[in-house]
Amino acid sequence: MSSDHHAHNPGFISKYVFSVDHKVIGVQYTITSLLFLFFGFTLMMIMRWQLAYPGESIPLVGGWLGQYLVDNNGVLLPEGYNALGAMHGTIMVFLGVVPLAVGGFGNYVMPLQIGAPDMAFPKLNMASYWVYFLGGVTMLSSFFVPGGAANSGWTAYPPLSDIANTVGTHPFWNGQTIWLLAMVLLITSSLLGSVNFIVTIVHLRVKGLTMFRLPFFVWAQFVTSFLLLLAFPPLEAAGVLQLMDRVFDTSFFIPSGLVVSGVVQDQYSGGGSPLLWQHLFWFLAHPEVYVLILPAIGIVGEIIANNTRRPLWGYKTLVYSVIFLGFMSFVVWAHHMFLTGMGTKMSTFFQTTTMIISIPSVVILTAMLLSLWQASIRFTVPMLFALSFLPMFAIGGLTGLPLGLSAADIQLHDTYYVIGHFHYVVAPGTIMALLGGIYFWFPKVTGRKMSTMLGHLHFWPSFIFMNTIFFPMFMVGLAGVSRRLWDQTEYVQGVDVQSWVRMSSWGAWGLGLAQLPFIINFFYSAFAGKKVGANPWNATTLEWAAPSPPPHGNFAEVPVAYRGPYEYSVPDAKEDFHPQHVPDSQVV
Amino acid sequence: MASSADDVRKSIRSYLMVFGALGVLTIVTVAASWLKVSVALGIFIALVIASVKGSLVASVFMHLLHEKATLFWVLIISAFFFLLLILIPVMQSYETAHLIDQVTQ
Amino acid sequence: MSSELLPHTLEPHPVTGMYNGKFGLWLFLASEVMLFGALFSAYILLRTHGDFPAHGEHSLSVPIGAINTFILITSSVTMVMAWASFKLNDPGKGKFYLMATVLLSCAFLFIKIKFEYLHKIHDGHTPDSHTFYAIYYCMTGLHGLHILGGVVVMLYFLLPGFGLWHKNPQQFTNRIECTGLYWHFVDLVWIFLFPVFYLL
């Protein structure tokens, strides 16, 4: 970003802090969300100590975690465990993965891939980042208020969340209320972002770039934006209702005659419905799952096409699958609620839709696998991450099927099996794909390549430890251990599987260590990595037509798209790739 | 889209007509609420009138009549998901009825 | 991008028939539909869930509600007239209608707060007294916030933002059109809120 050549030179603040350039905003999103990912992961590394060695004081950090998390001996408190769990979930989903996948990659790569000079609303884009930043700071601040951070889970189920953090705390500045405020900010940020993305993709494509010539990643972002646009408002509404419950003692989610610890809660009028929250929450949170996955699938598609040197198998099928996936994701939410006493007919309906939604996911995975078939694969570092995504995402998806069947769900609901299932989708799945994306587009952002040696040192341990963490969870869950226990060894089924639990914990700490090569690589390569040209991977899509790093306004001259996104290995051609912006006369 | 000056002048007439219609419909809806009809019919009448008013505002004031297909797709999608949201209470009352059945049996 | 505008800032896109701002605003309105949809859904659920007053037991003043409905409808008309005036290159009239819209919305808020909220709270009908009042305050309050937001935007275009009219009248008119779309939507929400809370 040092090669800015335009008339009036803006100051440092407007260039790097309050910038309206989509690339700077994308980098801001990426760095902020990577920090949040690491922070959220640290919370989990602390929790894993309590699970592996219940009741023992936490080494290294136990002394300075504060009175709301640990006791005098540095042992994690049950309330502290709950707070860490709630904040881990919230931070990873809303402050880590979504901002990285959509805010970071979407902002940086998508406008370049469609040949646009910027997003359609640059100022709105800046506002979106800063509202997200404010939401993140607000969320973190809740660790420091009396009573500590929110501890009702990332799902914040009432009536527990309505009455949590209310005794002995500030009536307004307490954990759960701050959680709600932060969520409202984060949702607002997503809304601003999604409007911007959709308008940009529809209106700012360059000449020749029809919808079916769009790179698959852009399609993934397009569908994701619709999910964000239409699924988030119901959670915003639910958040406002819960805020009313907590601040004004209304009873939206408080049933009549609620008794807590033997005390009748007569400050509430009653007449509310706790299930209302669950409906509104999952109306968002199931599409949210696809918000987490789709951009990752898009990134994997880009990397696979580039490193197999052949077109993505079944491009149109992939596009239709993603659209269908996005649509269906709105119609499956109640499969999270099979055990709420829902009638069997409703369960059957949502079980059926859940089985249907697995079809496009399998189609996508199959198309990606077929792309590999008989290809001469380049095993670059991004390709390793993309390849590892496929089986691990498949494990995550397939283990979801028993959870989608209402009968099997009775046994598995709220056990570690569920944790294993969705983490396989989001952590070894999405996060591995996102890391691969960082290696893939790093040369575009900085003009320098990341170190391959350090990349291998990052990939292989991460790949092994990801599985070390999450695979044992299936065994632990099938043994019947609930996901919400502070000390599972108080139960006989927990004692039996304690060695698996320890394996998960050691895996988690190992995974933490395995990120060191990445951190070193990230900073080292940004300043001292090997300099590369505009198109180091010999890729076809438009972002590689811009200089690395792209200047303000992106393209020296506005490109024109002459063909589809993945014209690799065309027979009888001079080179094995035909960039989208090069006219036919120059490539054949 | 009303672009030329003549078009705009013409549409001003329709704005005023819609204004009149909305006023009349507001009176009608208040009057209808005084009718002695069943609750269900009352809800139905009120919602039908509100929908008519709403579509007048959307199609004339918001120029929806002159928009192209893209916008309609966006609105159809959100209308579908809106209906899905409205289905939640229906499901909920089904669940409640189901539970009550189980308890009373 | 300070000197030249992005594509389709002014001229409509050939396929969608909208300029960027208008498309963006419609998408925003789609999300607003989902926001209010969730609240309407919550209202119906709470009402059918039992333990809710039957028709007539709650006493919102129908005349006040009807007056406010008229005020909002009128403000919608003045809003669309403001846009039409700017479109016809008559900024004086445009400003007049915009000002009228601001005054009408202030009247709406004044009546809402002075004769409804304060009156109800004085009678002990606070949000925690009953879920009906809880959802009533919540939904009309959120709607009121939308009105307030609209007023702020219109005042901006009347005072500091009016300079754009001299620089780029088309862009200014577009912005007024977007404000109008938002404003009609807020009106539309009220058209449903009125029967749902006052009449049913």
Residues of chain A contacting C16 with CB distance shorter than 8 Å: 202-203
pLDDT given for residue C57 in this prediction:
53
Q: Does A588 have pLDDT greater than 90? A: no
Of all residues in chain A, the percent with pLDDT exceeding 90 is 83
Inspect the interface and report whether the beta carbons of A275 and B92 lie closer than 8 Å: yes
Judged by CB atoms closer than 8 Å, whether chains meet at A271 and C51 is answered as: yes
Residue type, A223: V
For residue C149, the distance in angstroms to the closest alpha carbon of chain A comes to 15
Is residue C165 a contact partner of residue C91, using CB atoms and an 8 Å limit?
yes
Three-state helix/strand/coil letters over A97-163: HHHHHHHHHHHHHHHHHCCCCCCCCHHHHHHHHHHHHHHHHHHHHCCCCCCCECCCCCCCCCCHHHH
Q: Please list every residue in chain C whose beta carbon sits closer than 8 Å to the beta carbon of residue B9.
A: 88
Instruction: Please tell me whether the interface predicted TM-score (ipTM) of this complex is above 0.90.
Output: yes
Assign residue A74 a region: left if phi > 0, alpha if psi is -120 to 50, beta otherwise? left
**Does B46 sit within 8 Å of C200, measured CB to CB?**
yes
Q: Is C138 on the interface with A (CB under 8 A)?
A: yes
Check if A343 contacts B (Cβ < 8 Å). Answer: yes
pTM of the model: 0.94
Residue A6 has pLDDT above 90, yes or no: no
Which of C191, C146, C176 lies closest to C79, judged by CA? C176
Domains and CATH numbers, chain A: 12-259+266-587 (1.20.210.10)
Residue C55 has pLDDT above 80, yes or no: no
Q: What is the pLDDT of residue C2?
A: 43
The reported pLDDT for the residue numbered A183 is 96
pLDDT in tens, A277-301: 999 999 999 999 999 999 999 999 9
Cα dihedral A464, A467, A469, A475, rounded to 10, equals: -140
Amino acid identity, position C152: V
* Sign of the CA dihedral with C143 first, then C145, C148, and C154 last: negative
Per-residue model confidence (pLDDT) at position C47: 83
The 10s digit of each residue's pLDDT in C15-25 is 999 999 999 99
Chain C residues closer than 8 Å to B71 by CB: 16-18, 23, 26
Kindly write down the DSSP assignment for every residue of A399-463, as one continuous string: HHHHHHSHHHHHHHTTBHHHHHHHHHIIIIIIIHHHHHHHHHHHHHHHSEEPPHHHHHHHHHHHH
- Contact criterion met (CB < 8 Å) for C20 and A121: yes
A198, C27: Cβ pair inside 8 Å? yes
Domain ranges of chain C: 62-199
Cβ-Cβ contacts under 8 Å, C20 against chain A: 120-121, 199, 203
Compare all CA atoms of chain B with the CA of C23 and give the residue at the minimum distance.
B71
Q: What is the pLDDT of residue A3?
A: 40
DSSP H or E stretch at residue B73? helix B69-104
pLDDT beyond 90 at A464: yes
For residues A28, A33, A38, A42, the Cα torsion angle rounded to the nearest 10 degrees is 130
Residue B38: count other Cβ atoms within 10 Å of its Cβ.
8
Question: Is C51's pLDDT higher than 70?
Answer: no
Instruction: Provide, as residue numbers in chain A, all residues whose Cβ is less than 8 Å from the Cβ of B88.
Output: 276, 279-280, 283
Interchain contact, A251 vs C7, CB within 8 Å: no
Q: Which of A253, A393, A411 is nearest to A339 (CA)?
A: A411
User: Among A44-53, A441-450, A494-503, B59-68, whose mean pLDDT is lowest?
Assistant: B59-68
DSSP string, B55-70: HHIIIIIT-GGG--HH
Range B20-48 average pLDDT:
88
CB contact under 8 A, A237 and C39: yes
Number of CB atoms found within 10 A of residue B101's CB:
10
* DSSP character string of C59-114: ---HHHHHHHHHHHHHHHHHHHHHHHHHHTT-HHHHHHHHHHHHHHHHHHHHHIII
* pLDDT bucket at C3, cuts 50 / 70 / 90: very low
Looking at the complex, report in whole angstroms how far the Cα of residue C123 sits from the nearest Cα belonging to chain B: 24
Q: Which chains, if any, share at least 3 CB pairs under 8 A with chain C?
A: A, B
C8: contact with A, CB 8 A cutoff: yes
Q: Write down the architecture of domain C62-199 according to CATH.
A: Up-down Bundle (1.20)
- Which residue of C32, C34, C49 is the best one to mutate when testing the A interface, meaning the one whose CB has the most A CBs within 10 A? C34
Interface membership of C10 toward B (CB under 8 Å): no
- Beta-bridge partners for A531: A448
- Please, how many CA atoms are within 13 Å of residue A134, restricted to the half-sphere of its CB? 14
Cβ burial of A478 (10 Å; 0-12, 13-18, 19+) is middle
User: What is the token pair recorded at C100?
Assistant: 């009228």
Measured between beta carbons, the chain B residues lying within 8 angstroms of C73 are: 19, 22-23, 26
